[in-house]
Structure 1
Amino acid sequence: MRTAVKTEPFDTQGAWSRWTTRRWLRVGVATTLAVLAVLGALGGWAMWRTSQLSAELVDRRSPALIDAMRLEQALVNEETGIRGYGLSGRSDFLQPYQQGVSAEKTALGHLRTLVRGDARAVADLAEVERLAGSWQERTARPVATASAADAVKLVTQRAAEGKTTFDSLRDALARQQDHLEAERTAARRKLRQAEALRNWMFAIIAGVIVLVAALVFEGLRRGVTGPLSRLGSAARDVAQGRFDRTITGDGPADLRLLASDVDSMRRRLVRELQFSEAARTQMDEQAQDLKRSNTELEQFAYVASHDLQEPLRKVSSFTQLLQRRYGGQLDDKADQYIAFAVDGANRMQTLINDLLAFSRVGRVHNDHRTVDLEDVLSRAVDDLSVAVEETGAEISHDALPTVVGDSTQLGMLWQNLLSNAIKFHSPDRPPQIHVSAVRQGDMWEFAVGDNGIGIAPEFQEKVFAIFQRLHTKDAYPGTGIGLAMCKKVVEFHGGTIRIDSEYRLGTRVVFTLPATGDGPVSGEEESRP
């Protein structure tokens, strides 16, 4: 009966003690995944923030400052070209002006795109464009389109106005560059801060992962592997014979329940062992009594059979003497009675001899050695030569192996089986007997088949009982001990014997003997000729 688990530890330890290993693992995995998800989100945000600031610095702030410087350089080139053409009247001085105009357009186009969304930068750019346009309209374009003589006059007339306007443009460009530089510096500082935050974030994530791994390892050690190891150690102690050791468990509820079940099994085993020990002691006592009884029975059978031989011989001798001397002198009834007495004495003597031979199996003849079954079968056939000749029996056999056993008992086995096959032959045909041998793993399977009268299915188990007869002594002589003797010999050698219920031509007795590794190995039985 399964022992119930005590619930006191559950109550004293609180609700946590009722958690099973599966629940602990489920909660632990869910918590770990949640922590890792939060850390992953923070790490992703840090990466995204760093990437955004880096893109802003690289793609907007630095290029805007560079284009602002290029714009200033283009305007300076324009002013230099206009001033040189106005002072000298030489048209080659207009080449820097024309290059500056082209560079100015390019820089302004880039700046408009880069400062979009930045109000101050847009205002600075608008101021620069306004002042540049005013200077272009009042000074640069009129001078550039005038002839050499007119250009000198215009430069002289508008020198003061042009200088004032261009100085204002220079100041606007300087303010624009200062603002862009400040914004780039701020973006660079934010980028460094974001990178530092990202690095700290990943360091914290790595630390948390290591901490989670350590907590998981320690939790598994304390909650699973440790209790299982202690439970296994206790179970091994019990397996080594320490049945008095109580198995207690710790950790999650299911492991404690497992420990309680194992301890319940230990207590059950202890009870079973105690019962088995008592039963074994009783069996030993009964075995001793049985051995003593068998010894006494064997001695009794041996002595009784020997003691019965002498009076039976006397009865048989005197009844035969009476038959010879007074046969024919008395009436028919007297002759019949005398014949009954002689026959009864002879049958009793035969029965006693067979019983004595049956009791000697495994007791008197017990000399196990290598036996060639070919020689044993040949001797048995020679002993039955008279019966073979009288019935016209034909005996054939397969190649027989060598086994380990007692040659005398195996000779009795063959002689009884062949004798039965000859005795119970069909009256309308001569006996045909075939002995087959087939190797089946570590056993030899032998069969003695004949074409005789056969055995009805309901008697195929009973024929191996001692003194079991299926026919009267007038029809078939014998004591009914032959197949019982065969069964005892086969089982004494570690085999089995039976009647083949599927054989329909007569009777086929199948028995097995342990193989010694010698002889042919066959997967199928050879067909009977």
Structure 2
Amino acid sequence: MTGRWRLTSQRLFALTLGAMVALIVLGSVAGAVTLSDTAKVSDRLQDRISPAGTAVVQLGVALVDQETGVRGYLLSGDRQFLVPYDTGIKTEQRMVEQLRQFLRDEPVALADVERLARDAERWRSGYAEPLIAAKDPRSPLVETGKAAFDRLRAGLATLQRDVEAARTAGRSALADARERRDTILLVIIGGLLAGLAAIAVLLQSAVLRPLQELRASVRRVADGDFDHRLPSPGPPDLAELAADVEAMRDRVVAALAESRSTEEQLRRSNSDLEQFAYVASHDLQEPLRKIASFCQMLQRRYGDQLDDRARQYIAFAVDGATRMQALINDLLAFSRVGRVYDNVVDVDLARTFARVRSDLADADAVVDCAPLPVVQGDPTLLSMLWQNLLSNAVKFGKPGEPPRITVAAEREDAEWRFAVQDRGIGIEPQFNEKIFVIFQRLHPRDVYSGTGIGLAICKRIVEHHGGRIWLDQQYADGARICFTLPATADAPA
């Protein structure tokens, strides 16, 4: 499916966005030009053509005032009638100047203004002024002046038509400019909508659909079909992502195959270990029991015939067999941690501790125990943990003094921290790691009994439950063994 995709999804989106930006820029430029043209046409129509129409009307009124003033003066002889005449001349001159400004870009109408101004000047100089000077209403100039003023009216009408034509053309140009503006805006909006549609199509075909196919394949692999090969859909960058996921699947499959092989080897090893444990607990202990029994029988039957050396040798043999049995039993207990005893239930450590405390061999031992919590774990293993810790505290007490043991428990975030301390002979700091190693002893057997496996079992039990165990080197009045266990979610802090 990668053959039809030559560009990455990022490049596709970049090109689409670039096209949209170019469209926006071009549309903005065209829109700005159109808006500028529209503003110019609107300004021309509102600021020049329309005021020019008003000025033409005022010019016509000024000309009529002049003609009326002359006629009134001729009929009455009262110079007061010449006031409108003089005012009309001033108004005419002002309106002509304004029309020259308003119509400077309208050559036809401007020519009408100049022609009308010349005709008005000729009418005044050729008819109005001579009639005012003659004061004769029967003068032949009256009729010829009236004909000349009618021509002046015709010129004014021509000017009005040309100004109205310019106004009509301005309105048409304004409508065309607005139509172009609206068209450009519609093109921009259409282009943006088309770009958004293109992005949506690209997003669906180049990203979402390939990702859905890849996700479906990944879920299929995650559900257990590890032999299912992942496709490489979509653009090259998504195809590279799929290839990386496929490579990861290959590594996971290879690791899974190796894990299965290791698991099979471990299963066979556990089977061999279980067989060994069976042999150790039955077949190996039977000869040891026979050795010890027959040596004891030999001592009882022939004891009066043996010298002290021979009886010593027999005692050595019985002691060796007994110690061998103890070593085998402790080794079996060590191997069963996490293999035979692996239940996970709520364990009330207070009750477990109370049972172990009642089984202590030294009844004179003083044990102070803080309230203990409920944790999750294997009851048998946690009993073995308390038993080994308390037994060690009793065994390594100071000679001539009753053992005194203190057990503390404190919540720290998501775990419980416990401490078992005594006032015995203590442990040197340089042995803080050695004491948790199997079969490591710090004292001769004739001084302190045991196989040297007790604290190693404690370490394995604590780590099996997700905790840690260590020797507190700051405590100097004996030994303090600290360990942690995970706290349950609903346990009080």
Establish whether residue 290 from structure 1 lines up as the match of residue 270 from structure 2.
yes
Establish whether residue 461 from structure 1 lines up as the match of residue 439 from structure 2.
no
Q: Contact 1:384–1:419 (CA<8 Å) still a contact in 2?
A: no
User: What's the counterpart of residue 185 of structure 2?
Assistant: 202
Matches within 5 A, 1:145-160: 151=135, 153=136, 156=139, 158-160=141-143
Q: Contact 2:20–2:192 (CA<8 Å) still a contact in 1?
A: no
Q: Which amino acid aligns with 1:305?
A: Q
The Cα shift of 1:504 comes to 4.0
Q: Which of the numbers 170, 182, 197 marks the counterpart of 2:153?
A: 170
Q: Deviations over 1:288-322 (max 9, x none)?
A: 55335424533542454355335424524654787
User: What's the counterpart of residue 410 of structure 2?
Assistant: 438
Change (3 A) 1:109 1:29: same
TM-score by length of 2: 0.81
The Cα shift of 1:473 comes to 2.5
Q: Which amino acid aligns with 2:201?
A: E
User: What's the counterpart of residue 167 of structure 2?
Assistant: 184
The Cα shift of 1:185 comes to 2.7
User: What's the counterpart of residue 379 of structure 1?
Assistant: 358
User: What's the counterpart of residue 260 of structure 1?
Assistant: 243
Q: Contact 1:497–1:512 (CA<8 Å) still a contact in 2?
A: yes
The Cα shift of 1:268 comes to 4.1
The Cα shift of 1:211 comes to 3.1
Matches within 5 A, 1:133-152: 133-140=121-128, 151=135
Change (3 A) 1:210 1:268: same
User: What's the counterpart of residue 369 of structure 2?
Assistant: 397
Q: Contact 1:20–1:254 (CA<8 Å) still a contact in 2?
A: yes
User: What's the counterpart of residue 471 of structure 1?
Assistant: 443
Q: Contact 1:75–1:100 (CA<8 Å) still a contact in 2?
A: yes
User: What's the counterpart of residue 233 of structure 1?
Assistant: 216
User: What's the counterpart of residue 115 of structure 2?
Assistant: 127
Alignment partners' CA distance in 2, 1:457 and 1:515: 29
Q: Which amino acid aligns with 2:71?
A: R
Alignment partners' CA distance in 1, 2:380 and 2:208: 65
Establish whether residue 61 from structure 1 lines up as the match of residue 58 from structure 2.
no
TM-score by length of 1: 0.76
User: What's the counterpart of residue 212 of structure 1?
Assistant: 195
Number of residues paired by the alignment? 487
Q: Contact 1:466–1:484 (CA<8 Å) still a contact in 2?
A: yes
Unmatched runs of 5 consecutive residues or more in structure 2: none
Change (3 A) 1:473 1:374: closer
Alignment partners' CA distance in 1, 2:486 and 2:171: 95
When structure 1 is superposed on structure 2, of 430-439 and 481-490 the one drifting more is 481-490
Alignment partners' CA distance in 2, 1:245 and 1:311: 63
Unmatched runs of 5 consecutive residues or more in structure 1: 1-5, 389-393, 522-529
Q: Contact 1:67–1:107 (CA<8 Å) still a contact in 2?
A: yes
Q: Deviations over 1:214-233 (max 9, x none)?
A: 33333333333333333333
Alignment partners' CA distance in 1, 2:385 and 2:227: 54
Q: Which of the numbers 317, 330, 345 marks the counterpart of 2:318?
A: 345
Q: Contact 2:45–2:171 (CA<8 Å) still a contact in 1?
A: yes
Alignment partners' CA distance in 2, 1:177 and 1:519: 102
Change (3 A) 1:36 1:338: same
User: What's the counterpart of residue 36 of structure 1?
Assistant: 24
Establish whether residue 506 from structure 1 lines up as the match of residue 478 from structure 2.
yes
3-state DSSP of counterpart to 1:453:
coil
Alignment partners' CA distance in 2, 1:289 and 1:454: 39
Change (3 A) 1:90 1:34: same
Change (3 A) 1:105 1:455: same
How many percent identity over aligned positions? 35
The Cα shift of 1:86 comes to 0.4
Q: Deviations over 1:231-272 (max 9, x none)?
A: 333333343444454444344332333333333444444444
Q: Which amino acid aligns with 1:24?
A: L
Change (3 A) 1:520 1:122: closer
Alignment partners' CA distance in 2, 1:412 and 1:247: 51
Establish whether residue 19 from structure 1 lines up as the match of residue 2 from structure 2.
no
Q: Which amino acid aligns with 1:185?
A: T
The Cα shift of 1:24 comes to 2.5
Change (3 A) 1:236 1:352: closer
Q: Which amino acid aligns with 1:217?
A: A
The Cα shift of 1:99 comes to 4.8
3-state DSSP of counterpart to 2:406:
strand
3-state DSSP of counterpart to 2:368:
strand
The Cα shift of 1:75 comes to 0.7
Q: Which amino acid aligns with 1:255?
A: L
Q: Which of the numbers 386, 389, 392 marks the counterpart of 1:417?
A: 389
3-state DSSP of counterpart to 1:433:
strand
User: What's the counterpart of residue 3 of structure 1?
Assistant: none
Q: Which of the numbers 296, 303, 315 marks the counterpart of 2:295?
A: 315
Change (3 A) 1:189 1:88: same
Change (3 A) 1:50 1:32: same
Q: Contact 2:56–2:159 (CA<8 Å) still a contact in 1?
A: yes
Q: Contact 1:380–1:411 (CA<8 Å) still a contact in 2?
A: no
Q: Deviations over 1:124-174 (max 9, x none)?
A: 322222232333345545666x6xxx63x2773642453354234333323
Q: Which amino acid aligns with 1:448?
A: V
CA RMSD of aligned residues (A): 4.0
The Cα shift of 1:114 comes to 0.8
Alignment partners' CA distance in 2, 1:366 and 1:118: 107
The Cα shift of 1:60 comes to 1.5
When structure 1 is superposed on structure 2, of 211-220 and 363-372 the one drifting more is 363-372
Alignment partners' CA distance in 1, 2:247 and 2:86: 104
Q: Which amino acid aligns with 1:239?
A: A
Q: Which amino acid aligns with 1:397?
A: C
